[in-house]
Amino acid sequence: MSEGVILGELAEIPPGESKGYRPENEAQDHLFVVRLTASKVVAYRNSCPHMGYESAPMAWRRDRYLDGSKQYIKCGSHGALFTLNSGECIQGPCEGQFLTPEKVTVDSNGELIWWPQS
C-alpha cells in the first residue's frame, strides 16, 4: 500500500477553483485538484488524453485548469472540455475519453493528501 503525500492546505484553493501540484518537484504539474465545494475535491493527472496522456499538460496558465464558466475542466492546448466529476471529455478532439483520476483526500487538519497509485 502506498503512503500519502501532503500536497498543501485545502484552504489554498477557493471553492470552484483549481490548483496544480508538483509533489516530486517536477518541471510541470503532475496533478491538479479542483475544489468543488467547501470540503469536496476531485483530482486528475495533468495529462490530456488527446495526446495519448503523455507529455500533454493542460493548464493554460499556472493553476488555471477550468473554463471561464468554471463548470468544466479545459485543456489549454486545443480546448477540450471535461466534466468536473467524471473527467469525461464532452467536447473537443478527444470526446468520449477520460482524464486519469488521482486519489486526493482531505484530512482532519484540512490538508490535501495525494495517494499515488503504484
Q: Interface residues for ligand FES in 1-40 (CB under 6 A)?
A: none
Rule CB under 6 A: say whether 78 interacts with ligand FES.
Answer: yes
Closest distance to ligand FES from the beta carbon of 41 (Å):
22
Measure Cα distances from 9 to 21, 60, 69, 113, 117 in Å.
Answer: 12, 23, 24, 9, 21
At 52, give phi and psi (nearest 5°): 75, 20
Rule CB under 6 A: say whether 43 interacts with ligand FES.
Answer: no
Rule CB under 6 A: say whether 73 interacts with ligand FES.
Answer: no
Rule CB under 6 A: say whether 66 interacts with ligand FES.
Answer: no
Residue from 33, 34, 42, 75 binding ligand FES (CB under 6 A): 75
DSSP 57: -
* Sheet (strand 89-91) strand order: 72-74, 81-83, 89-91
Where are the strands (E) in 2-102, listed by range? 5-9, 18-21, 31-35, 41-45, 72-74, 81-83, 89-91
Residue from 19, 35, 45, 50 binding ligand FES (CB under 6 A): 50
Q: Interface residues for ligand FES in 88-117 (CB under 6 A)?
A: 92-93
Residues that bind ligand FES (CB under 6 A): 48, 50-51, 56, 75, 77-78, 80, 92-93
